[in-house]
Every structure is written in C-alpha cells, then in structure tokens.
A = this chain, B = another copy of it.
Amino acid sequence: MNEDKSADEKTGRGTVRTITDLARLAGVSPGTVSRALAGKSLVNTKTREKIEAIAREHGFRPNQMASGLRRQKTGVIGVVIPLGHDSRQQISDSFFMTLLGFLADELTRQGYDLMLRRVVPENDADWLDRFIGSGMIDGVIVIGQSDQFDRIEDVADGYGPMVVWGNHTEGQRHCVVGTDNRLGGRLAAERLIAAGAKRLAFLGDTTAIEFAARFAGAQDAARRMDLPPVMALPTHLSPERAAEEIAAHIAAHAGAIDGIFAATDTLAALCLTELHARGVAVPGDIKLAGFDDLPIARQTVPPLTTVRQDIAAGARGLVDLLLRRLAGEQTESLILPAQLVARQTA
C-alpha cells in the first residue's frame, strides 16, 4: 500500500481513476465533473476551477474508451497500408513512411490519434470492412491503392469518411488525394527524350495502379514524339528482389535502350548502382529518371533527375478532406501537380 501511495503521489495514478472518484473529492456529481472537464459553459467558474485543480493534482484523465462509447466517436483515425502487389514494399519504400510521418503530425495538430494497420489483402479479403467496422475509428485513410482498387470502390459506396492516397481514375467513386502520375510520367519521359534518348524503358510493377499511370504518361510522350513504345520491365519494390530483377533487365536490354524511367527513386538508385557496376555511363550511354524526389535523389552520383511529389501537401490534403467528410460534406478528389526536378542523370 505504501508503494501505491508513493506511486500515486508521484504520477497521480491510483486513487482518482474515474470521474466519479473525482466528483466525490470535489463534492459534486459526476455529471458536473464531466461538464467542467469538457469546458462547457453551464458550470460555475468557481466549481470548474476547483475541479480542474483536483484533476491536475491527481493527474486525472478521463477514460477515452468510455467517452468514445457514449459519444459514438473515438477521436481516432485509422491509417491502413494495404500490401497487395508487394508485401515488403513499405519497408523499403521510404515514400510511404515519410507520408505517414506527415500524416501523424497533421492528425495530431487536429486533435486526432492515429491507428496504424498494415494488411495483406490476399490473406484477408475483408481488411477494409474489418477496420471500419471495429468501432475504434472515426474515419480511415488508405495509403496506396495497391491492387485493391475495386475493394475500395465497393466500400466507398456505403461509407463516407474515407480518403485514399493514390491515383485518380476517371469516374471513380472513392475520394483520393494524389499526384498527377500520368503527367509526371510524361514529364520524366519528355526529359529523357530531350536529353537524347530514343528507346525508353520503364522500370516498375504496372499492376500497381499509380505506376501504371506513370507508365502510361511515358507512353504518351513516346507516342507524341513518334518514338517506339516504352518497354515495360516489371520490377518489385523490395530491395532484395528489385536488385536482381534490375540486374537481369539490364543484362538483357542494356544495348537496346538508352533511357530508363524508374517508377520510384529507390528503384532508380538501385538501377544507377547496377549501371555503374557494369560500366554503363549515366547519362552518357543511358539517361535515367526517377519519381518521388526523396532525399536519396540528391545523394546519388550523379544526382538523380526525378519527378517531385509534394508529400507534405499530400498529407495535409488527406487530413483536410477527411475532416470535411467527417463533417458530412461531399468532397472531390485532390490532384496535386507533378514537377520535374532536373539534376544530372538526364
């Protein structure tokens, strides 16, 4: 008991756990305490101050589970990363992680907590409904459509507070925030072409819809310039697999191409290393462009030409739209512009 007491003195945990305990100490009813702590105007300033003082002294915090249950809202936003086309993508891909960081900051700023879930849709077809139906979250942000576009569309019909990071497709029903991937792809390809490349290749997994759009953009550029179609070189994102796949692609096609557009900077950096190892000059023999403008793009040798996504703006957009949907508003998707960052690989 001595232990209990000293712990309580120091940390304030222990004696006053519930609003009722606090009410007893303050000599009022639990209802009044609730109102005082919620800062409602109905309670006398003096009583409020007294209650606040006792609360502070004992380090009291109202139980959010109980509060959530009663008010039918939790103050928690779910963030889910579906790992559809490539289970280990996220670990390697610092893009998603950076976005997550900004999201955490932005949600905190708005008074929400963040519940994170990574799911593997092929093991668990029900991933999105499960999360939404758990009763633990007020809304959900999906980071990346992966290969789950249809699943997300289905849910969007019946569930409002959802916003998705990804690619916008004409006529889709779920609200997305994302970069104009097709434009970005076109910009990258145009740059490669302007630098002298004529036979282009695309490095990435086009079953992911964002990447497919980047590929399509590159294809647009090639067609417009009357060049042969861009060759698709399927590549996973996990570093182990990507490295060998890239090596194989280059071994097979190095002579036949003179421009590579990589779906992400991470892949581009890997590709650069591999080209370097094989003695292929960049941008001399082969021009190279990436996508994302991650910190690594600045640090490769030579520094990487790439397409910039504004991650911070993306996070702000996601949260902003979600909050408006939470408030009952209907919202349109938000497409952020892509911007070419010309460095030295093309």
Contacts and interface: CB of A to CB of B under 8 A. Distances in A.
Interface in A1-53: 7-8, 10-14
A8 B295 CA distance: 46
Contact of A101 (B68, B97, B301): B97
Contacts of A14: 158
A98 B90 CA distance: 9
A101 B108 contact: no
A112 to B, nearest CB: 11
Contacts of A159: 11, 13
Nearest to A74: B65
Interface in A275-304: 276, 295-296, 298-301
Interface string A50-83: 0000000001111111101100001010010000
Contacts of A105: 118
Contacts of A61: 129-130, 133-135
A158 B299 contact: no
A115 B113 contact: yes
Contact of A65 (B65, B118, B273, B299): B65
A229 interface: no
B118 A115 contact: no
A92 interface: yes
Interface string A86-120: 00001110100110111011001000011111100
A300 B298 CA distance: 11
Interface residues of A, number: 63
A115 B115 contact: yes
Contact of A68 (B59, B65, B94, B118): B65
Nearest to A239: B295
B104 A108 contact: no
Contact of A104 (B64, B94, B118, B276): B118
A55 to B, nearest CB: 11
A154 interface: yes
B133 A59 contact: yes
A64 B11 contact: no
A270 interface: yes
Given A76-B115, A115-B116, A135 B7 contact: no
Contacts of A116: 79, 104, 113-116
Given A10-B158, A296-B296, 13 more contacts: A13-B158, A59-B129, A61-B133, A65-B68, A65-B135, A66-B135, A90-B101, A91-B102, A92-B295, A97-B100, A108-B117, A266-B295, A300-B301
10 contacts: A10-B154, A11-B158, A13-B132, A13-B133, A14-B158, A59-B129, A66-B69, A108-B117, A113-B115, A113-B117
